[in-house]
């Protein structure tokens, strides 16, 4: 499972002109589920996201997590995080999990974060979404549950 985590001032996701998820300060999390991922991968991504110390403390040192600052999370499923663009010019998506599995593990990730007391808004699985991201810093972190990077 992969995630792109961005510290944001605000973020929102819109489907068919309607805002379906919106947060203030917190984290924008794009989540890609890979074939072979399990609930352990979902838990890893959720726990790592919640505990990343990427918010400044009173000495301007990145020392606080989204939980510490009372921030929110906007989670959006994004299968393109599993794109393989090493060959040719058109990316391949054969490593992305089948939609049923991907949706289940995406939801498990969200449920796990909610269980840690984080307010989570979300996009709509398998739809065309417009995501507005006001990246703060900018701070962007890449996670891979298989620890490939």
Catalytic residue (one of 6, 49, 79, 109): 79
| Distances from the Cα of 57 to the Cα of 47, 50, 52, 100, angstroms | 20, 16, 13, 40
Is residue 80 part of the annotated active site? The answer reads: yes
Catalytic residue (one of 6, 49, 55, 78): 78
Phi, psi (deg, nearest 5) at residue 95: -85, -10
For 79, the 3-state DSSP assignment is: helix
Contact 74, 133 (CB under 8 A): no
Is residue 78 part of the annotated active site? The answer reads: yes
Q: How far apart are CA 29 and CA 75, in angstroms?
A: 5
Contact 45, 143 (CB under 8 A): yes
Catalytic residue (one of 38, 80, 127, 140): 80
Q: How far apart are CA 87 and CA 76, in angstroms?
A: 27
Residues with catalytic roles: 78-80
């Amino acid at each position: 499972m992969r995630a792109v985590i961005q510290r944001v001032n605000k973020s929102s996701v819109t489907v068919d002109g309607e805002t379906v998820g919106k947060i203030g300060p917190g984290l924008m999390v794009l989540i890609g589920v890979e074939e072979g991922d399990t609930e352990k991968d979902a838990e890893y991504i959720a726990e790592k996201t919640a505990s990343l110390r990427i918010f400044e403390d009173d000495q301007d040192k990145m020392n606080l997590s989204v939980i510490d600052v009372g921030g929110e999370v906007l989670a959006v499923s994004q299968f393109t995080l599993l794109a393989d663009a090493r060959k040719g010019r058109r990316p391949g998506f054969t490593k992305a999990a089948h939609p049923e599995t991907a949706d289940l593990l995406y939801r498990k990730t969200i449920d796990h974060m909610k269980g840690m007391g984080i307010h989570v808004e979300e996009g709509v699985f398998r739809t065309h979404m417009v995501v507005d991201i006001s990246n703060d810093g900018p701070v962007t972190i890449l996670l891979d549950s298989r620890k490939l990077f």
